């Protein structure tokens, strides 16, 4: 399955969420995951993978590093054999996670290959406005609205008025900052926490299965 | 770097035109190539990967392990195990 993190606005947390979701699928689901970083020479994922890793190869299945957290490929220019290479990677990996920069042409070129798009926005006017434009031109059945850095739940109502249903909410949480500072993805840094519960919810959108349940959910599932 | 080539020109070019820069590239190629393509590189007379692993990736121990392996699945097993064992090292880099 190919999952893309898209947004028309930079700095909304696409890379952070792509990194943590990839690490979560690896650690708690035991899946083979590759994170493809399309941020041409501006790779946020290098924080977690070592600054000295070199970007090799013009094709997607060339220059892949097997990190403990996930496998990673740094893309330095648009791949020439994208369709062929995605076929090869799909045969090997359970999940291909794409971290895509806010480049409209790139997002539209990748859209047809992606099974699910997380459209990432933050609850602020520029993010909502620019992503509304993108949302209108993307294939609606592939898109899931993901609101990041939420501090006030009332903001969600405003976003739902514009986009319809919000699929996932990630609250502002200092654990994300701590994880980047320590250069360890959250799932490999902590075992419990609200941020991990929210990443679990994100993972469940892809896998259809929850790994973490609230006490109430556990009680209900015990009696069912 | 122990698990990738140090220079772009040290890539291994396979019979189907794929460029292998890292050990993971090699493992994915092994997993997805046909038996016929594998036989082009590994047969009774030669094993093209041994020298690349020894001199470009500088993995002497792995090169010795696969030197006499002629079976594709066996080679996949050895390389997979090697990468799994290396992950603890990669984490620190």
pLDDT in tens, chain A (224 residues): 999 999 999 889 999 999 999 999 999 999 999 999 998 777 777 777 765 778 888 899 999 998 889 999 999 888 888 999 999 999 999 999 999 999 999 999 999 999 999 999 999 999 999 999 999 999 999 999 999 999 988 889 889 998 988 999 999 999 999 998 888 999 999 888 899 999 999 999 999 888 777 777 767 766 76
Residue A13 near residue A43, CB atoms below 8 Å: no
DSSP assigned state of A7: -
The per-residue pLDDT for B91 is: 47
- Name the token pair of A104: 């409209």
How close does chain A come to B35, measured CA to CA in Å?
16
Count CB pairs under 8 A between chains A and B. Answer: 68
Is the model's pLDDT at B90 over the cut of 70?
Answer: no
C-alpha–C-alpha distance, residues A119 and A121, integer Å = 7
Distances in whole angstroms, Cα of residue B38 to Cα of each of A102, A116, A163, B5? 40, 34, 50, 21
Question: CA of A181 to nearest chain B CA: how many angstroms apart?
Answer: 15
User: Do residues A95 and A71 make contact, with C-beta atoms less than 8 angstroms apart?
Assistant: no
Which among B22, B32, B93 has the least Cβ separation from residue A63?
Answer: B22
- Rounded to 5°, the CA angle A211-A217-A223 comes to 115
Q: Please state which CATH number belongs to domain A2-223.
A: 3.40.50.300
User: pLDDT value at position B92?
Assistant: 43
- ipTM > 0.90 for the complex: no
Which residues of B lie closer than 8 Å to A, measured between beta carbons? 1, 3-5, 8, 11, 18-25, 28-29, 31-32, 83, 86-88, 90-91, 93
**Residues ≥6 apart with Cβ < 8 Å to B40:** B15
Residue in A54, A57, A91 closest to B32 by CB: A91
Across the range B7-28, mean pLDDT stands at 94
Are A68 and B25 in contact (CB < 8 Å)? no
Domain spans of chain A, in order of start: 2-223
A65–B11 CB contact, under 8 Å: no
Contact call for A56 and B8, based on CB within 8 A: yes
Residue B2, pLDDT score: 53
For B12, which residue in chain A has the nearest alpha carbon?
A: A62
For position A50, what pLDDT does the model report? 65
B8, B87, B93 member nearest A50 (Cβ): B93
Taking CB atoms and an 8 Å cutoff, what residues of chain A touch B25? 57, 61-64
CB contact under 8 A, B87 and A66: yes
From chain A, pick out residues whose CB is under 8 angstroms from the CB of B90: 50, 65-68
Q: Which residue has the tokens 């290479």?
A: A85
B87 contacts A57? CB cut-off 8 A: no
């Amino acid at each position: 399955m190919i999952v893309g993190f898209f947004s028309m606005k930079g700095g909304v947390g696409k890379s952070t969420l792509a990194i943590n979701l990839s690490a979560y699928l690896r650690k708690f689901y035991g899946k083979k995951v590759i994170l493809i970083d399309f941020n041409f020479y501006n790779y946020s994922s290098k924080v977690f993978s070592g600054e000295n890793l070199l970007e090799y190869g013009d094709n997607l299945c060339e220059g892949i590093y097997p990190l403990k957290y996930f496998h990673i490929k740094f893309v330095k220019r648009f791949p020439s054999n994208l369709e062929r290479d995605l076929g090869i990677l799909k045969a090997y990996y359970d999940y291909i996670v794409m971290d895509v920069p806010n480049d409209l042409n790139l997002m539209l070129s990748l859209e047809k290959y992606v099974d699910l798009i997380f459209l990432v926005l933050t609850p602020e006017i520029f993010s909502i406005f620019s992503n509304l434009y993108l949302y209108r031109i993307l294939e609606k059945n592939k898109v899931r609205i993901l609101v990041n850095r939420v501090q006030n739940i009332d903001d969600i109502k405003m976003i739902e008025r514009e986009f319809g249903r919000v699929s996932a909410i990630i609250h502002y949480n200092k654990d994300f900052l701590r994880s980047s500072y320590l250069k360890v993805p959250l799932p490999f840094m902590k075992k419990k926490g609200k941020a991990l519960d929210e990443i679990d919810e994100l993972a469940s959108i892809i896998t259809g299965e929850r790994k973490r349940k609230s006490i109430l959910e556990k009680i209900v599932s015990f009696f069912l | 770097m122990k698990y990738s080539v140090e220079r772009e020109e040290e890539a291994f070019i396979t019979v189907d035109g794929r460029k292998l820069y890292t050990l993971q590239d090699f493992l994915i190629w092994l997993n997805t190539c046909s038996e016929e393509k594998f036989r082009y590189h590994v047969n009774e007379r030669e094993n093209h990967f041994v020298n690349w692993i020894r001199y470009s990736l500088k993995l002497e121990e792995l090169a010795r392990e696969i030197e006499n392996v002629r079976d594709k699945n066996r080679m996949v097993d050895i390389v997979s195990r090697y990468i799994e064992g290396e992950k603890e090292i990669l984490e620190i880099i």
